[in-house]
Amino acid sequence: MTDALAASVPVAIIGAGTMGTGIAQLACLAGHRTILIGTPPETLDAARRAIAGGLETLVGKGRLTAAARDAALGRLETSGELAAAAPAGLAIEAVPEDMALKHRILLALEATMAPDAILASNTSALSLAAMARPLARPQRFCGLHFFNPAQILPLVEVIDAPLTAPAICDIGVATMRAWGKSPIRCRSTPGFVVNRCARAYYAEALRALAERAADPATIDAVMRESGGFRMGPCELMDMIGHDINAAATASLFAATFGDPRYRGSPIQTEMVEAGLLGRKTGRGFYDHAKGAPKPLPATAAPGPRPRRMRVLGELGPAAALAARAIAAGLDVDCAPGDGRIVVDGIHLALGDGRPASLRSDVDAVFDLALDAATQTRAAIAVSDRALAGAGDIAAGFFQALGIAVSVVDDMPGLLVLRSVACLANEALDAAQQGVASEDDIDLAMTKGVNYPLGPIAWAGRIGFARVLRTLENLEAVTGDDRYRPCLRLRRRAAAPAS
């Protein structure tokens, strides 16, 4: 096993913004003499104060002693000159995403530091291959992509550029573990792991808005309260900034020669053009002004309480609804069938990528939940062919189980199922292409963006065949190639159950 960079080896961080400051806090806390380089002087002063404040917070939480805090601050140095990086064995650039700027910095560092020093970039979007091209020693260059705030979020993507010596990334992984992070190893491709795989989470929400299936507050509530995500996609885009989010999507779309999976959204483009960037401008999908009321999700009025639930066949991921119905005092009986619920003559089924109106077997479909035993909200869509009152009966059923209901337009795949299917497909495709291992991809999505479950593990839980069927139906209904199932998903779906 490769050893981590020794604590006696100095580390230089170039860029004293939020990201560079967070990385510097990690390095000095891990025992390294840490040289934080940036301009102007007041930026460095602010960075030192931020690091001191961060360490003081750890002391207040009992996670760091006062002596350890003082020792870490004693290892921190600041400078406005790149020459100050000369003694460092590792230099990490964390400057803005400007290739020309990064080239100037990396070339200056290479000329300043020892030949056996390691150079790394914190880029989240730029090509590491292009970044390494002018270097005399590209074999000693890699990517170390931290997530903001770097001193808190555990994930680091350790990235092999095309000419990186394998031992360099081995050292990177070991060093990040020594710093208390959760590193994954990945290949240099557009978006790496997280920025690539997460596109589907934002994209499907934007497409649901474009299809006028639901409003932002309802989409977010369903994704949190049914899907188990910590933040809904609309509120998350507001937090990231729509300009940044749209630029990441555009960069991936261009780098993949127009792959439709990474196509941008006219809705988001218009928001960027209007300056509705989210929290940083005060308005995005939501009004972030102080005291502004937060919109409430669409929630169905109370429907009639049923007395009986009939289960036809296996309900798959929704099986726990039967136990909840029994606990709620409903009579439940089971019969052979294809996975439907019958309540007061209304037929309900878990979505499969087709709108309810294109199915002859149901009156309404309901969305996937992370855990049907604990979900607090369900999204349902009612068929255009259903009899009047079908939606009220369907809502009343879920409400009797203690589940709030959001009625959305009859969109293919609904919200959670559609998003999870696309996330899983993207993750499996990345694994197929050797970007990272399946385990590392799942780790990246849980540690880097706080998903409740890795997308590949999630697909395994609900069934690869169900995910494949959902995507095939989405592709057939929409005619959009963005839903094409990848080869690895097809193979997993065809494999016999273990």
Q: Which of 93, 157, 225, 438 is catalytic?
A: 157
Q: Assess whether 472 carries a catalytic annotation.
A: no
**457: CB partners within 8 A, 6+ apart:** 442
* Two structure tokens written together for 483: 């839903």
Alpha helices in 158-299 (DSSP H): 166-178, 194-197, 199-210, 216-225, 233-240, 242-255, 266-273
Q: Identify whether the C-beta of residue 206 lies closer than 8 Å to the C-beta of residue 268.
A: yes
- Name residue 393's amino acid: I
**429: CB partners within 8 A, 6+ apart:** 486, 488, 489
Alpha helices in 312-381 (DSSP H): 320-327
What distance in Å separates the CA atoms of residue 498 and residue 495, rounded to the nearest whole number?
A: 9
* Two structure tokens written together for 369: 């939940």
What are the angstrom distances between the C-alpha of 95 and each of 38, 105, 123? 9, 9, 8
Backbone angles phi, psi at 183, to 5 degrees: -85, 150
Instruction: Please confirm whether the linkage preceding 96 is cis (ω < 30° from 0).
Output: no
Q: Other C-beta atoms within 10 Å of 371: how many?
A: 13
Q: Distance between terminal CA atoms of the chain?
A: 33
3-state secondary structure of 293: coil
Query: Number of H helices and number of E strands within the chain?
Result: 19, 15
Q: Other C-beta atoms within 10 Å of 71: how many?
A: 14
3-state secondary structure of 92: strand
Query: HSE (CB half, 13 Å, CA atoms) of 239?
Result: 10
Q: Identify whether the C-beta of residue 445 lies closer than 8 Å to the C-beta of residue 454.
A: yes
* Two structure tokens written together for 327: 């606990």
* Two structure tokens written together for 487: 């080869």
Alpha helices in 61-134 (DSSP H): 66-74, 99-112, 128-132
Active-site positions?
157
